[in-house]
Structure formats: structure tokens, C-alpha cells
Structure 1
Amino acid sequence: MTSEFPGSPRIMKGGLVAYQLPELAPTIIVYQYNPDEMQRQIRLRGGGGGRGDSNRVNGPPEEQISFTVEIDAADQLEFPAQNAITLDNGLHPVIAALEGLLYPSYPLVIANEAMALAGSAFIQGEQAPLVLLVWGPKRVLPVQIDSLSVREQAFDANLNPIRVEVEISAQVQSYRDLDITNPGYWVYMSSFTMKEVMATLNTFGNSTGIRGLLPI
């Protein structure tokens, strides 16, 4: 008897996309396994003020996101002929790509160091890349990676890490943090719009009983 479900549904992979502006060629880090959970802390950004201003806010809330990514080279090492890079380097490349999310542009650092050694007073500002957290079509957010906690759990004969667990903590960048000329500004506004759309679709639970108690 033929199954009604001939194939398993394709699972969308989450990931991180980094742009070292003004360059628009991104570094893309796709999760090998989607994290089992994500912790989000959303904190009101109060605006203070006097009487009558209790609901005033200073822009959108601060949002902190944390999750753990697991990476294992076992599948690639099972077929070494097709995965020469992993065979030679283990997981060093993906670890370096993740760590690069906290670093300024390497060419810019070298240029600044050269100018400093030459006695130049002009040093360009060093900025970490613009990072987009991609978690399905309804959640794409500009974030600043605050910290990485890298746990290397297994190594090959050359001490290349082949199993790694990375705890990632990131701060969502809002329209208050990004200039309007920054592409991340528009990514955030698109996410803000999506949040409004999702809120209008909220039909969870029966609100009839509560409506009858409302004083206004």
C-alpha cells in the first residue's frame, strides 16, 4: 500500500548572515542542526517622565536572544574524498566564521595599523559586521553578537575540532540603533511590520468572558 506521505517535509534551516559594509557579499553560516530552543528576553525601554507619562517608552523594547548551535563533522569525515576541507581543517573554518561576527574587518585593521605605524592621525572606525539572524521567513532580525561560548568536544588526529557546541548571545538592533541608510534598519522595520501582522492574526483562546468584564 502506497503511503499518503511519500516524503518527509523539508525542514528549513536557520542561520546567520553577515555583511561587512559597504561590501554586500555576505558570509552565510547555516546551522547544521536547528537549535532545539531559543531564549528571548524582551525588556521595556522606559522613557520616564512625570505624572501621566507612566506608559511613555523610549522606543522599542530591548531584545536579547540566546541559543546553542551544535556542529558535528562526522557526516563529512565519513566521505573524505568529497570533503577535503573538513578532512584537513576539521571545524576550524566554521568556528572562525562565527568568531568573525565579533571582529572588525581584517583589511581595515591592517590598514589602520599601517597608518598608525606611519604616524598618520587619521584612523578609520572599526566596526563589527551587520549580522542578520534568519529563523524562518517570519523572523529575520538585525542583531549584534554580544558573546560566543565555544565548547570543543572532540578532535581528530591533528587536534582539529570535529564536534563543537557554541552558545550564542545577541542583541536585536532596532530603528533606534541603526541609521536609516543602513540595510539593517529596513530589515528591522520589515520585522516590525511582520510582528504587527502576526498580532492581528491572534485568535488564540476565547475572549468573550473577558470582554464582558471590561470597564471601558
Structure 2
Amino acid sequence: MIVPIPNIIIFQYNPESLSRTIEPYQLPDSKAAGPDKAVTTAPTTTQPKPPVEKFTLTLQLDASDALEVPDLHPVAVVSGVADRLAALEMLLYAEDSKGLGFSLSLPVGGSLSPAGTPEAAAQAQPVPKGKSPTILFVWGPGRIVPVRINTFNVDEQLCNPMLYPLRAKVSLGMQVLTDDDFGSTPDTIEKLAGACYKFTMTQKRVLALANVANDVESILGLLPI
């Protein structure tokens, strides 16, 4: 079995802060439903889906340390931090069957063929949709979750003579994925990502139980007995 080689991107510096938002499931607004839409009668306590969790952080990339020892970092001498930026950016592109990160298939020859020919038939075939790579966001041993990058902003602050950035600030917005996001037939990597999500949720439940134990101990300490 061929095991895909993961693209591991290590943070050069730990971000100073990590922002999180958790959006609970919202029931459809029955008042806004049109005549062709079913009006929901579910109680307001219904929670059919887990809340949507999102992360926002800023990465600082700097080639200064590498440029102090140019013999050991020839890539940094030529491209600065462009290689690290490229690795991050490739997380936004769809993968193809060859694992090149992205693909573009356009049957130019078929578009010039007359109707009824094999070329025209090939043109009529639906173009396969790309699939985004499976990304695991690792923030310590207590948080390893699959994510999808929703926002990606880069501020290139200093460039070398070839105009490759030597410093850059990357702002990332990510959404945590659950088992439902991988469909009914996940591949091996997606199953691993799902297992990581469940592992993180188990740790969260254990911490919540530990908090209950602390609360009970605090309450008992307040009793006059």
C-alpha cells in the first residue's frame, strides 16, 4: 500500500494568541420560509449538529536566522521565506490523483471538434471536481483537529533583490471539520483526521469532568460542617 507523504509545516514561532469562536447550530427561521419550504416544528432545544468551531491566528515568518548561516540554508538565501509561504498556500489548492496539490483539466482539442465525434463526447463528460487536502491543526497534545482554511492573508514586509520575501506575516482563519464533513466513505487519511477529532473531543470531555470535580470540592468547602 502506498502511504502518502504528509506535508508538515512547523511554526517558526508560536503565535502570540489564538482566537476561537464556537457557533451553535441555528434552527431555520420558520417565519422566513417561503411557500415551497417546509416550516420547521422542531423545539428550540434541538441540536442535530455539533457547533462550528473556528480558529484565527497570525504566523510570523522571518529568514534572518537562516541568512546568518547561508551555507546551511541555501534555499533561504535564494527565496527567503517564499518556500514556507508556498507550503501554506498549497493547502488551499485542490489535490489531484498524482498528489501535485492542484490540477487543471481543460479539453481544448475537444472544443474544436464537430458534434458526434469521440472528441466531442469526451468534451461532454463532466470534469472531476478537485478535493481539498486533509489538514491537521496541531496546537499541543490537547488539540489535534482536522481543519479547512477559510481565510488566508499575507503581508510581505521585506524582500531580497529577487523580490522574494524575507519576512512575512500570515493571518489564517480555519474551521474545524467533523466526521460529517468527510462524507460516508472517507479515505485512510480522512479516517485518521476523524480519529484525531474524536481524541480531542474526548480530552475536552475529560477536562469538563475535572472541572465538575473541582466545583464539587469547592461547594463542599463552603458547607458549615
TM bracket (short chain):
0.7 to 0.9
Tell me the TM-score normalized by structure 1.
Answer: 0.77
1:198 aligned onto 2:202 = no
**8 A contact 2:154–2:169 mirrored in 1:** yes
Structure whose residues are more often helix by fraction: 2
Indicate how the Cα distance of structure 1 residues 43 and 133 shifts in structure 2: closer, same or farther if over 3 A, else same: same
Provide the secondary structure at the position in 1 that maps to 2:87.
Answer: helix
Cα shift at 1:200: 1.3
Indicate how the Cα distance of structure 1 residues 95 and 55 shifts in structure 2: closer, same or farther if over 3 A, else same: same
Q: How many residues align?
A: 187
Cα shift at 1:42: 0.2
**8 A contact 2:81–2:164 mirrored in 1:** yes
Q: For residue 73 of structure 2, what is the aligned residue in structure 1?
A: 83
Tell me the TM-score normalized by structure 2.
Answer: 0.74
Identity of aligned residues (%): 29
Structure 1 counterpart of 2:194, from 163, 177, 185: 185
The Cα offsets for residues 108-140 of structure 1, whole Å up to 9 and x where unpaired, read as: 754633xx3353314222011111100011100
Q: For residue 63 of structure 2, what is the aligned residue in structure 1?
A: 73
Q: For residue 43 of structure 1, what is the aligned residue in structure 2?
A: 23
1:30 aligned onto 2:14 = no
The Cα offsets for residues 16-68 of structure 1, whole Å up to 9 and x where unpaired, read as: xxxxxx962110110000001000000101346547x2221121101111000
RMSD: 2.5
Distance (whole Å) between structure 1 residues aligned to residue 9 and residue 101 of structure 2: 22
Distance (whole Å) between structure 2 residues aligned to residue 168 and residue 134 of structure 1: 14
**8 A contact 2:90–2:101 mirrored in 1:** no
**Over alpha carbons, which structure has the higher Rg?**
2
**8 A contact 1:179–1:185 mirrored in 2:** no
Q: For residue 8 of structure 1, what is the aligned residue in structure 2?
A: none
Q: For residue 145 of structure 1, what is the aligned residue in structure 2?
A: 149
**8 A contact 1:47–1:58 mirrored in 2:** no
Distance (whole Å) between structure 1 residues aligned to residue 89 and residue 13 of structure 2: 19
Q: For residue 208 of structure 1, what is the aligned residue in structure 2?
A: 219
Structure 2: give runs of 5+ residues left out of the alignment: 29-39, 111-121
Distance (whole Å) between structure 2 residues aligned to residue 110 and residue 99 of structure 1: 15
Structure 1: give runs of 5+ residues left out of the alignment: 1-21
Cα shift at 1:188: 1.5
Distance (whole Å) between structure 2 residues aligned to residue 151 and residue 109 of structure 1: 24
